[in-house]
Chains A and B, each alone.
Chain A
Amino acid sequence: MPFSDEVRARLDADADQIISRYPRSRSALLSLLHLVQAEEGYVSKDGAAYCADRLGLSETEVAGVVSYYSMYRRRPGGDYNVGVCTNTLCAIMGGDQILASLSEHLGVGPDETTPDGMVTLQHVECNAACDYAPVVMVNWEFYDNMTPDSARGLVDELRAGEKPVPSRGPARLCTWREAARVLAGFPDGQAGDGPAAGPATLAGLMLARENGWTAPEPAAKGDPAGSGQ
């Protein structure tokens, strides 16, 4: 069913803002898809048609883009997308065991959703947190150094309606739709939450501090090019 006038008016205001960020309107397509995903939880046929209409594209052109990118859901899913990294390093550090354990615990396979509509289980590729392996991502927030036990506890909390705090993220975990809205470029005011850096991030810096190691000072003033060490 196409969007109601009220929804359409709200989307139009946001879409205008997104399109204005780019020199050419088609560049706004990825952000617009995040926007319609925030509205419905996935990119529906109506959502894709809306994007096509706003950018003067055919629905087929938009469908081709949607199917290329793994973050767009093409059917409804859970409020919480639980992604277990099973790329080589995380898999070997325990990601394979975590995914198997969650699948058994939840009774759903990868890319399936629990009957209560709370959790969609996924395996994800390397999420650039290898120094915290094994890693689980919930709605693209980091849960570091997980075990099968802690991962089962995490999904139990999610299904009980709690919001477990990410290792390096906001105080309040977003739902899937709220996360998509941030990705569309509409901040949720939580950027100031959480640490600047986690413990592994600081491993080298802490060692340098303990030993008094610093980068060499630049040459004295008056030598604009600097003379090295």
Chain B
Amino acid sequence: MTATLTPVLTAHWDDPDAFRLDAYRRAGGYQALAKALATPPDDIIAMVKESGLRGRGGAGFPTGVKWGFIPQGDGKPHYLVVNADESEPGTCKDIPLMLATPHLLVEGAVIAAYAIRAEHAFIYVRGEVLHVVRRVQQAVAEAYQAGYLGRDILGSGYDLELTVHAGAGAYECGEETALLTSLEGYRGLPRLKPPFPAVAGLYACPTVVNNVESIASVPSIVANGGRWFAGLGTEKSKGYGIFSLSGHVTKPGQYEAPLGITLRELLDLAGGVRAGHRLKFWTPGGSSTPIFTDEHLDVPMDFESTAAAGSMLGTRALQIFDETTCVVRAVLRWNQFYEHESCGKCTPCREGTFWMTLLLDGLERGEGNEEDLEKLLDICDNMNGRVFCPLGDGAISPVVSSIKYFRDEFLEHHKRGGCPFDPAAATLFGDAQ
């Protein structure tokens, strides 16, 4: 059977006014908020637990369970922080979501904050996307004016302040504890867990940090019921999600489908790999997830199946590379990114990414040899699990997986004394320029 798409989050993106409050309300917006405010907060948490929604920022932790960890009646302020710092290479779903329907995020944030009994919420939005910052600022201002934020929301007696906070350029701040440190006005360094943010988060108070797409999924769950959401997807990876296809594909873009769809099905929908070429390797969920090859076209894109096949679902950021792409060049570039973005707190990551760049650079120029591959794997072994945050673990993913699938290609560079690929052949515009 051909796979089909299930637009929910993306359903109104083609309305040219989708980002405006009146257009959002015409499409049924803020009705879920009214329903939520008439429901006890614990019932909202139960509904999100029942839905099976798992974090859409990459880690896949059950959202309702996370909310349930917030201690109640503890006398401390509670905070909701929306992680809108989308920066994982290949990941490009939250940015278009906020550009098109920022009110979906605001409505989800108010419901989530109400459920965990927070009086102040933050949207930590990446700074390097100015028009997205404008759209989120405007949506929040409109929501205040309409009485969806501020004092006594919709006459419910519930009060919530929502602050839009623009970041300043640091991939590391996409990690939840680093994001909180950054929001407190410091260098964005990660913290040791435990304590988890649910116990000691922002200002050491109970805090939920959720990804944009997770929060934006909440209004539909409240409107349609947890069981409706759980009826989509697979047994353990429930619901729908946005799959972002990019690179050497005929129609790159955003495809919203139930979890469990395969790359073969997605490529079929997106017109296949670009004409005249064939799939070489791809990332299932951003550069921090081990690469897959054409052997993995039928792996269901859910948390369990991607893990069983040796990678991760991550952010469903499918970067597609065809046979014109040099895998050594690709991995070197990713590693340079991790080296640049390593915050420096943990020695294995700070030093490991630095040395791996030197080794990969040599290998790409044909000056490396088989011993260098062993050295790379040894460095990866020393980084794996020995760092505070997932950046270091993510950095080793492309290195280890590319050596696993393309060892010969690394060695071919050595044999030839240089890269056997023509970079012009891989570009969007070919040799024309």
Contact = CB atoms under 8 A, between A and B. Distances in A.
A127 B87 CA distance: 7
Which residue, B7, B8, B91, has most C-beta atoms of chain A within 10 A? Answer: B7
B164 interface: yes
Given A94-B428, A197-B99, A30 B433 contact: no
Contact of B6 (A93, A202, A215): A215
Contact of B133 (A26, A182, A206, A208): A182
Interface string A23-34: 110111111011
A179 B428 CA distance: 30
Interface in A123-177: 124-134, 137, 139-142, 145, 147-149, 166, 168-170, 174
B43 to A, nearest CB: 10
B166 A30 contact: yes
Contacts of A218: 223-225, 228
Given A197-B13, A226-B225, A27 B185 contact: yes
Interface string A4-24: 000000000000000001111
A92 B141 contact: no
A228 B231 contact: yes
Interface in A180-229: 182-185, 187-188, 190-192, 194-209, 211, 213-216, 218-219, 223-229
Contacts, number: 314
Contacts of A224: 225
Contact of B255 (A55, A92, A133, A203): A203
A86 B330 CA distance: 11
A24 B184 contact: yes
Interface string B390-428: 000000000000000000000000000000000110111
A92 B427 contact: yes
A124 B225 contact: no
A56 to B, nearest CB: 11
Contacts of A68: 170, 187-188, 343
For chain B, which range describes its interface: under 10, 10 to 19, 20 to 34, or 35 or more residues?
35 or more
A101 B429 CA distance: 14
Contacts of B4: 208, 211, 213
Contacts of A197: 13-14, 18, 96, 99-100
Given A133-B428, A225-B50, 11 more contacts: A70-B169, A88-B330, A147-B433, A148-B433, A194-B131, A203-B245, A204-B253, A206-B14, A215-B8, A216-B6, A218-B224
A27 B180 CA distance: 10
A204 B96 contact: no
Interface stretch (B122-130, B146-154, B375-383): B122-130
A205 B365 CA distance: 43
Interface of A: 21-24, 26-31, 33-34, 55, 64-65, 68-72, 83, 86-89, 91-94, 96-97, 101, 124-134, 137, 139-142, 145, 147-149, 166, 168-170, 174, 179, 182-185, 187-188, 190-192, 194-209, 211, 213-216, 218-219, 223-229
A38 B241 CA distance: 38
B227 A225 contact: yes
Interface stretch (B109-117, B332-340, B350-358): B332-340
B225 A203 contact: no
A205 B240 CA distance: 14
Nearest to B3: A213
Given A218-B224, A218-B228, A92 B325 contact: yes
A87 to B, nearest CB: 5
B313 to A, nearest CB: 17
A8 to B, nearest CB: 21
A88 B163 contact: no
Given A23-B77, A133-B247, A64 B187 contact: yes
Contacts of B330: 88, 92
A215 to B, nearest CB: 4
Contacts of B325: 92
Contact of A71 (B137, B169, B329): B169
Interface in B212-246: 223-228, 230-232, 240, 243-246
Nearest to B250: A203
Contacts of B14: 196-197, 202, 205-206, 209
B129 A140 contact: yes
